[in-house]
Amino acid sequence: MELSADSLVSTNLYFRKQISFSRGKVRDVYNIDDKYLVLVATDRISAFDHVLPFPIPFKGQVLNQIASKFLDETSNLVPNWKIAEPDPHVTVGVKCDPYPLEMVVRGYLAGHAWREYNAGKREICGVELPDGLKENDKLPEPIITPTTKAQAGHDEDISMDKIVSQKLVKKRELKKMAEYSLTLFNAGSEKAQSRGLILVDTKYEFGCHDGKVLLIDEIHTPDSSRYFYADTYHKIQKKDQQQRQLSKEFVRKWLMENGFQGLEGQSIPDMTPEFVESVSDRYIELFEQITGDTFIKREYKNISNTIEGRVNAFLNEYLP
């Protein structure tokens, strides 16, 4: 299979006052004057801690524009890193010192939390859970189940007490992160409800800038969050069936059905052009369902030059 011309696999750009560059699983990050970051959401896709071999057209645009919209909508509730969105694939923001945690907020017993509960655990990340819950049941109230951010391999569960005792984050900063996380989750839940969805769980990342805790990275995207359809939730739950989801779970499910879970010795299955197109269509569907906006496909011709030009035009106006 050949890579589609309508995709952004990676970038090699140069911006005004750029001093360094790094590449994550799906984002290319440019350090500007050690004060700002230019974050390019590429069309790479990852699952089970592996970057899959073929990009998904428009995926980067979908994730960047969802996150950008929700960062704007919640900025009056929680301060965040975003300054501007000069291109559909790009967000520019202030450079923060990231905390080594992901603040995972769960309103329902799903995914990893359910697997732990089903294995007999009644305490997850120091949070006590009641007996008698079923998969995807609503929890008595949203809970925070933090994970450490691993440099390689899987993130690890950790309790709030251990975060403090291990001096990963100062107590008052952790308290602020927890407060912000629940505020964002409540706002995200209200937004989801207005779109006929349920925000099941999600993760937030924070960084320190000038002594203040700021929300960084993405927010409420299908890659960082799990959504259920609200209209069928109770009916499905009563029948003990699997909930209809809006998340990246459909990609993981396809990989598992084709013998890949990221384990040693397993090979990533070949992704046909038809499958790649179907994933792209699904991401666009997710965008429209979650935001309520019509998705406008960007032009990919000369995309690198376009991004470089737009970002530099912004930086020329913004930077002294």
Buried-exposed string 201-219: b where 16+ CB fall within 10 A, e elsewhere: bbbbbbbbbeeebbbbbbb
In angstroms, the Cα distances linking 187 to 77, 160, 219 are: 9, 23, 11
Task: Enumerate residues 6+ apart whose C-beta is below 8 A from 250.
Answer: 279, 282
- Binning pLDDT at 50, 70 and 90, where does residue 152 land? low
Identify the CA nearest to 24 among candidates 35, 47, 40, 8.
Answer: 40
- Work out the average pLDDT over 196-200: 96
The mean-pLDDT minimum among 1-5, 19-23, 39-43, 89-93 falls in 1-5
- Work out the average pLDDT over 193-209: 97
Q: What is the mean pLDDT of the chain?
A: 94
- Strands, DSSP E only, in 115-240? 123-124, 127-128, 138-144, 147-148, 156-157, 197-209, 212-216, 225-229
CATH number, span 18-97+275-318: 3.30.200.20
- Work out the average pLDDT over 74-78: 98
- Work out the average pLDDT over 12-33: 96
Domain coordinates in residue numbering, the chain: 18-97+275-318
- Binning pLDDT at 50, 70 and 90, where does residue 150 land? low
Identify the CA nearest to 215 among candidates 265, 247, 176.
Answer: 176
Dihedral sign of CA atoms 158, 74, 43, 12 in order: negative
Whether 91 contacts 216, CB under 8 Å:
no
pLDDT of residue 4: 53
In angstroms, the Cα distances linking 151 to 37, 251, 273 are: 20, 23, 32
Query: DSSP letter at 218?
Result: -
pLDDT of residue 299: 95
- Work out the average pLDDT over 296-304: 96
pLDDT of residue 18: 98
What does DSSP say about strands 82-87 and 90-94: parallel, antiparallel, or unpaired? antiparallel
- Binning pLDDT at 50, 70 and 90, where does residue 3 land? very low
pLDDT, tens digit (0-9, with 9 covering 90-100), for 252-298: 889 999 999 988 999 999 888 999 999 999 999 999 999 999 999 99
